Amino acid sequence: MASEYVVLYREDVSPGKAHAAVKDAGGRIVHENTDVGVATVVSSNPDFTTEAMEHRALEGVAHNRVIGEAPAARSAAEVESSTGTRGVAVGKPSKDAEPLADLQWDMKQIHATNEGSYKTEPGDRRVLVGVLDTGIDGNHPDIKPNFNKKLSRNFTHDIPKDVNGKELDGPCEFTSCVDPVDWDDNEHGTHVASTIAAPRNGLGISGVAPNVSLVNIRVGQDSGQFYLQPTVDGLTYAAKIGVNVVNMSYFIDPWIWSCAGNPADSPADQLEQRTIIEATQRALDFAHERGVTLIAAAGNQLVDYTKSHADEASPNFPSVPGEKPHKRTVTADCLSMPTEGDHVIPVSATGPSTRKSYYSSFGDGHVAVAAPGGDKADTPDGKPDDRHGVWAAYPEHIAKLRGQLNPDGTPKVPNVIRSCKNDVCAYYQSMQGTSMASPHAAGVAALIVSRYGRTAGGFGRDGGFGRGGGPVLDPWVVERVLRGTATATPCPSPNTVEYVWYKLTDGKWVKNTSTQTCEGHARRNGFYGNGIVDALHAVQR
């Protein structure tokens, strides 16, 4: 039976030598990214990995896992998006605000409002934000005005079954199993995109940077899984078309943390994880050198990334029949990619009270900044409230598929809401996760480029930065402004916090707890980094 692999070439070898090495090991190249020396290879040789690594021209091999499943599943990058049970009441919005503005505590927290950053800098349409995610519903009425379909690309393909024959996606919706660039069967990417740049159009909500342009760079499957080759392709593509900022609210599957030599892993798994680290870093370097500011979610595992901890969920998807996750101790030198890659700005999550969200991972030296990500347990009794999640765009076709709408189109679940204008209706969903925090920071980064960027052509080796003629700004400057204008937020006192939250299980509320310790000082610590991002302060310097 043929298997698919991602192969990493050594940086100092010619493509011809790499091609010959792949062929000699029994592989056939089906896709190649020459920018960073990464190829997708198909082989029926059961010893392909071993034989490939005997060639000096090749540096790494990883199984290529590409899956998909029905959109009823939740993304692995998001936490408990629909656990709330309390009804949502929408008050009358303030003058000239969007209809659902009163639900947007997140925008108020970072001063992305009509009275705040919108007045000073709503963003430049020529600034491009690449959303590396599960896709964007480019026809959502509160996304479409800012959606750049022409530049959008899908680097994934869905398959019906996994290696064990389990049905995942069933018959593909589209003939080639490749979704259109304006489609999202998951929900995650659409939510992220509208947080960044939902327009001020009198419908629903507005985003952090309501005038910038969104580019769908799809690297995630319908299932919410994210794999190596699409990530590499997405990052290099973003760099070459002149994208200013990318948002990456995910980790590269199947390893939550990739470890170079964990003794609990087999030699093949160790090689695979080293390949993920090296190939991803090459792509991150390629993008950074060409002017792309790299923003990522800090993780939802409730752990300190700078300390050793247990991982019982990797690998989270089988590459060979019967493969299951195994328990291992993850040390601080293991890396969750792309979040812990060089040049990346990791973002932790806050709730409405500005406390660090209970699920958000942390670590002094890991977290760069914090941003609203939602915390439905940020309540007096710890029981979830959907009003304390982040509200953003939700594809209507998924709401229908999940049976969340009444016959007249009104939502019948508390975590979905509808807004209509002139017979055009759109849906919005309350979600929580560092996946929701990261796009707030990406939106502020886009405002920084809009405000302080210069119009100039050419940057880096191939002139990709600024090719579109819009404002450009070196990523290190964007990061300096983002960090420097964040609202400094010290560790709580005492600095060890016991978080309490409840989940409804079999009709009963089940109490959960987690003890987490914040290290650092007021201007930089493990919970907030340099502070909570502030859209208004960022554009007032």
What one-character-per-residue DSSP string does 326-350 give? Answer: --EEEPTTSB-TTTTSTTEEEEEEE
The helix/strand/coil state of 279 is helix
What's at 502, amino acid-wise?
Y
Strands 424-431 and 390-394 turn out to be antiparallel
Tokens 């589209």 appear where? 174
Q: pTM here?
A: 0.93
Rounded Cα distance between 114 and 124, Å, is 16
**496 Cβ contact partners less than 8 Å away, ≥ 6 residues apart:** 515, 516, 517, 518
Rounded Cα distance between 174 and 198, Å, is 27
Tokens 């930089």 appear where? 524
H, E, C per residue of 421-440 = ECCEEEEEEEEECHHHHHHH
What one-character-per-residue DSSP string does 255-267 give? Answer: -SSB-SS-TTS-H
- Which residues does the chain have with pLDDT short of 50? 67-86, 91, 458-466
Contact call for residues 362 and 301 (beta carbons, < 8 A): no
Contact call for residues 498 and 356 (beta carbons, < 8 A): no
Question: What dotted CATH number matches 3-63?
Answer: 3.30.70.80
391-423 burial by CB neighbour count: b if 16+ within 10 A, else e? bbbbbbbbbeeeebbeeeeebebbbbbbbeeee
pLDDT score recorded for residue 225: 87
Tokens 């929580």 appear where? 432
CATH 3.40.470.10 fits 101-538, yes or no: no
| Angle of the 267-289 helix axis to the 228-240 helix axis, nearest 10 | 10
Tokens 């969920």 appear where? 313
Q: Which residues pair with 497 in a beta bridge?
A: 516
| Domain positions in the chain | 3-63, 101-538
**12 Cβ contact partners less than 8 Å away, ≥ 6 residues apart:** none
pLDDT score recorded for residue 459: 44
Q: Write phi, then psi, for 330 (nearest 5 degrees).
A: -100, 125
Which residue, 223, 191, 103, is CA-closest to 442? 191
H, E, C per residue of 54-98 = CCCCEEEEEECCCCCCCCCCCCCCCECCCCCCCCCCCCCCCCCCC
In a 13 Å sphere around the CA of 506, the CA atoms on its Cβ side amount to: 1
pLDDT score recorded for residue 70: 40
